Structure 1
Amino acid sequence: MELLTLQHFAGCVGQAFDLSLGESTVPLTLAEATPGTTPILPGMLRAPFSLIFRSGSAIVLPQQIYRLKNASLGALDIFLVPVARDTQGIVYQAVFN
């Protein structure tokens, strides 16, 4: 498996990702892909970064690893954490260190 970096996701901002829930899927949109605030330290395999996904659903999914599918990146397993709720739905974050 290739080590994912910010560059993998930078071109996917605004794209759809399908979150798999067994028989059904929840559509997400990648809203942000930003570099982390932690400096790169010797021995780190990648620069830290963060992803923000938005869901139009009012249902909050628990934090855990989810299978996400995207037309550009294919299938990925990503740990998502719900971090906010607003008038547009739920916001999830994934942090890569």
Structure 2
Amino acid sequence: MPLDGQIRVNRSGAWHTSEADRRDRTMLESCTVESFTRHLGERFRVYAGQDEPFEIELIQASGLGRESTDSTSGHGSRSAFSLLFRGPAGILLPQRIYRLEHAEMGTFDLFLVPVGPDQSGQRYEAIFT
């Protein structure tokens, strides 16, 4: 699957994304902590604009104990949660949106924030509200 998830701006300045990007966004809007818990210990491929993608491991999925409602998505409410990934020690990604790919979950964009290294590599967090 080509990873052309670029945001496009038309002449009037309005932005739009491809149909695949809309599907990805809808998939993420319906995700819960349980959607990711079953993938703990699994690897996700990260496309960071480099020649070769690399892998990060999902090491934690935790509920944050508060519910959010998104009136614009039509998906109602869900409990907020966080994901913690571990990547290679030699690579430090800056905070931004990255394209991720997983064998079962597919391809989607996720905002990752570096939260510091541990004994095995660099850790990154994503928060869902």
Q: Determine the structure 2 residue equivalent to 1:27.
A: 55
Unaligned ranges ≥5, structure 2: 1-25, 71-75
In the TM superposition, what is the alpha-carbon distance from 1:21 to its structure 2 partner?
2.2
Q: 1:62-91, CA deviations, whole angstroms, 9 ceiling, x for partnerless residues?
A: 000001111110111100000011231100
- Bigger helix fraction: 2
Shift of 1:42: 6.6
The 3 A distance-change label for structure 1 pair 81 and 41 is closer
TM-score when scaled to structure 1? 0.88
Q: 1:42 to 1:95 in 2, by over 3 A?
A: closer
Query: Aligned with 1:9: secondary structure?
Result: helix
Match of 1:53 in 2: 85
Higher relative contact order (CA 8 A, sep 6+): 1
CA contact (8 A) 1:12 1:72 kept: no
5 Å matches for 1:7-86?
7-22=34-49, 23-37=51-65, 39-40=66-67, 45-86=77-118
Of all paired residues, the percent bearing the same amino acid is 35
Change (3 A) 1:51 1:41: closer
How many residues were matched structurally? 96
SS in 2 for 1:47: strand
Q: Which blocks of at least 5 consecutive residues in structure 1 are unaligned?
A: none
* Larger gyration radius, structure 1 or structure 2: 2
Change (3 A) 1:82 1:42: closer
User: Structure 2 CA distance, aligned partners of 1:49 and 1:9?
Assistant: 10
TM-score, reference length from structure 2: 0.67
Against the structure 1 CA distance between its residues 16 and 42, is the aligned structure 2 distance closer, same or farther, given a 3 Å change threshold? closer
Q: Which runs of 4+ in 1 moved over 6 A?
A: none
8 Å contact from structure 1 (residues 16, 27) kept in 2: yes
Structure 2 CA distance for aligned equivalents of residues 78 and 59 of structure 1: 18
